[in-house]
Amino acid sequence: MINYTWRITQLERNSSNGFIVTAHYDVLAEDSGVTCNTYGTVGWEQTEDDFIPYEDLQQEVVIGWVQQKLNKDDVETSLANQIALLKNPPIISGLPWESIETQA
Protein backbone atom coordinates (compact mmCIF):
# COMPACT_ATOMS: atom_id res chain seq x y z
CA MET A 1 0.00 0.00 0.00
CA ILE A 2 1.34 3.40 -0.96
CA ASN A 3 1.51 6.09 1.73
CA TYR A 4 1.23 9.70 0.54
CA THR A 5 2.51 12.64 2.58
CA TRP A 6 1.39 16.10 1.49
CA ARG A 7 3.26 19.13 2.84
CA ILE A 8 3.17 22.87 2.34
CA THR A 9 6.76 24.11 2.13
CA GLN A 10 6.16 27.84 1.65
CA LEU A 11 3.36 30.38 1.30
CA GLU A 12 3.30 33.71 -0.51
CA ARG A 13 0.72 36.28 0.58
CA ASN A 14 -0.39 39.82 -0.07
CA SER A 15 1.32 42.03 2.48
CA SER A 16 -1.76 44.26 2.77
CA ASN A 17 -4.26 41.64 3.91
CA GLY A 18 -2.51 38.25 4.20
CA PHE A 19 -4.41 36.63 1.33
CA ILE A 20 -2.50 33.55 0.13
CA VAL A 21 -1.61 33.97 -3.55
CA THR A 22 0.78 30.99 -3.90
CA ALA A 23 1.40 27.77 -2.02
CA HIS A 24 4.51 25.67 -2.59
CA TYR A 25 3.80 21.99 -1.99
CA ASP A 26 5.59 18.65 -1.86
CA VAL A 27 4.06 15.18 -2.06
CA LEU A 28 6.04 12.10 -1.02
CA ALA A 29 4.86 8.62 -1.99
CA GLU A 30 6.34 5.54 -0.27
CA ASP A 31 5.69 1.86 -0.79
CA SER A 32 7.86 -0.84 0.82
CA GLY A 33 10.96 1.37 0.85
CA VAL A 34 10.47 2.68 -2.70
CA THR A 35 9.87 6.43 -2.76
CA CYS A 36 9.21 9.19 -5.23
CA ASN A 37 7.97 12.74 -4.90
CA THR A 38 6.63 15.71 -6.74
CA TYR A 39 6.62 19.39 -5.89
CA GLY A 40 5.31 22.59 -7.35
CA THR A 41 3.22 25.67 -6.77
CA VAL A 42 -0.45 26.53 -6.90
CA GLY A 43 -1.83 30.05 -7.11
CA TRP A 44 -5.12 31.78 -6.41
CA GLU A 45 -6.75 35.10 -7.13
CA GLN A 46 -8.35 36.89 -4.23
CA THR A 47 -12.04 36.47 -3.59
CA GLU A 48 -14.13 37.18 -0.54
CA ASP A 49 -15.30 33.55 -0.31
CA ASP A 50 -13.94 31.58 2.63
CA PHE A 51 -11.18 34.07 3.42
CA ILE A 52 -9.16 32.87 6.41
CA PRO A 53 -6.74 35.35 7.98
CA TYR A 54 -3.10 34.33 7.50
CA GLU A 55 -2.43 33.94 11.21
CA ASP A 56 -5.40 31.53 11.52
CA LEU A 57 -4.37 29.18 8.69
CA GLN A 58 -3.54 25.54 9.37
CA GLN A 59 -1.42 23.39 7.05
CA GLU A 60 -4.28 20.89 6.62
CA VAL A 61 -6.54 23.64 5.26
CA VAL A 62 -3.98 24.81 2.69
CA ILE A 63 -3.24 21.19 1.71
CA GLY A 64 -6.97 20.79 1.06
CA TRP A 65 -6.93 23.84 -1.21
CA VAL A 66 -3.92 22.50 -3.11
CA GLN A 67 -5.44 19.02 -3.45
CA GLN A 68 -8.66 20.50 -4.79
CA LYS A 69 -6.88 22.75 -7.28
CA LEU A 70 -4.59 19.96 -8.56
CA ASN A 71 -7.05 17.06 -8.28
CA LYS A 72 -5.56 14.94 -5.51
CA ASP A 73 -6.41 11.65 -7.23
CA ASP A 74 -4.52 12.64 -10.40
CA VAL A 75 -1.38 13.54 -8.42
CA GLU A 76 -1.46 10.35 -6.39
CA THR A 77 -2.14 8.20 -9.47
CA SER A 78 0.87 9.74 -11.20
CA LEU A 79 3.07 8.99 -8.18
CA ALA A 80 1.71 5.43 -7.97
CA ASN A 81 2.63 4.91 -11.63
CA GLN A 82 6.16 6.17 -10.93
CA ILE A 83 6.53 3.77 -8.00
CA ALA A 84 5.29 0.87 -10.14
CA LEU A 85 7.96 1.69 -12.75
CA LEU A 86 10.65 1.90 -10.08
CA LYS A 87 9.61 -1.48 -8.66
CA ASN A 88 9.31 -3.14 -12.09
CA PRO A 89 11.38 -1.16 -14.61
CA PRO A 90 10.48 -1.88 -18.24
CA ILE A 91 14.14 -1.59 -19.27
CA ILE A 92 17.12 -2.71 -17.24
CA SER A 93 20.82 -2.59 -18.02
CA GLY A 94 23.80 -4.76 -17.30
CA LEU A 95 26.18 -7.28 -18.80
CA PRO A 96 25.44 -10.99 -18.50
CA TRP A 97 29.08 -11.93 -18.02
CA GLU A 98 29.49 -9.54 -15.10
CA SER A 99 26.86 -11.37 -13.08
CA ILE A 100 28.60 -14.68 -13.83
CA GLU A 101 32.00 -13.33 -12.76
CA THR A 102 30.62 -11.94 -9.51
CA GLN A 103 29.07 -15.32 -8.67
CA ALA A 104 32.40 -17.20 -9.07
Residue of 10, 68, 7 lying closest to 37 (CA atoms):
7
Residue 9 CA neighbour count, 13 Å, CB half: 12
pLDDT at 17: 87
- The continuous run of DSSP H or E covering 65 comes out as helix 59-70
The total number of structural domains that make up the chain: 1
Domain that holds residue 25: 3-103
Residue 96 DSSP class: H
Per-residue model confidence as pLDDT tens digits over 30-70: 999 999 999 999 999 887 666 788 899 999 999 999 999 99
For the segment 14-31, the average pLDDT, to the nearest whole number, is: 94
Is 0.85 surpassed by the pTM of this model? no
> What is the Rg, in whole angstroms, of the alpha carbon atoms belonging to the chain?
20
